[in-house]
Amino acid sequence: MADGGIEAGTTPYERIGGAPVVRAIVDRFYDLMDAEPRFAALRALHADDLAPMRRSLAGFLTAWLGGPRDWFVDNPGKCVMSVHGGIAIGADTARQWADAMRLAIVERTSDPDLAARMADALEGMALAMARVEPVGG
């Protein structure tokens, strides 16, 4: 399309390149979190073994982008906010998450417009979770 829009019937998941690109984004995100000192507070919120989180985030992003909805089938009634409800997520760690995800998306995505839209939407979700006390705590 001349206007750079998504063609009818093309999901963001398809446009981004499907499972291999989603997995590359997720792997880069967690690699950044593991390696970069600026993401240390975010890393500290996670278990030592990131494999389950890598699988879950890849599944969520796949479904969120319009790909197979397995994550939602496997997690009925859950949303990003409810999954993170028991974690004390402060503004600093929410910002670290958003920054690491934006870097991962930009580095692993060949479509700058889609990358920016994804990163902006995910940043909004991350920042909305910032709170001092866990939900119910």
The structure's pTM equals: 0.86
User: With 0-12 CB in 10 A as exposed, 13-18 as middle and 19+ as buried, what is 72?
Assistant: middle
Residue bearing the bigger pLDDT, 42 or 4: 42
Q: How many helices (H) and strands (E) does the chain have?
A: 8, 0
User: Which residues, including other chains, have CB under 8 Å from residue 77's CB and lie 6 or more apart?
Assistant: none
Give the separation between CA 88 and CA 68, rounded to whole angstroms.
30
CATH class for domain 13-128? Answer: mainly alpha
What pLDDT digit, counting tens, does each position of 59-116 carry? Answer: 999 999 999 999 989 989 887 777 776 777 888 999 999 999 999 999 999 999 999 9
Q: Which of 30, 134, 32, 28 is nearest to 90 (CA)?
A: 134
User: Rg of the chain's alpha carbons, rounded to an integer?
Assistant: 15
pLDDT tops 50 at residue 130: yes
pLDDT category at 8 given cuts 50, 70, 90 is low
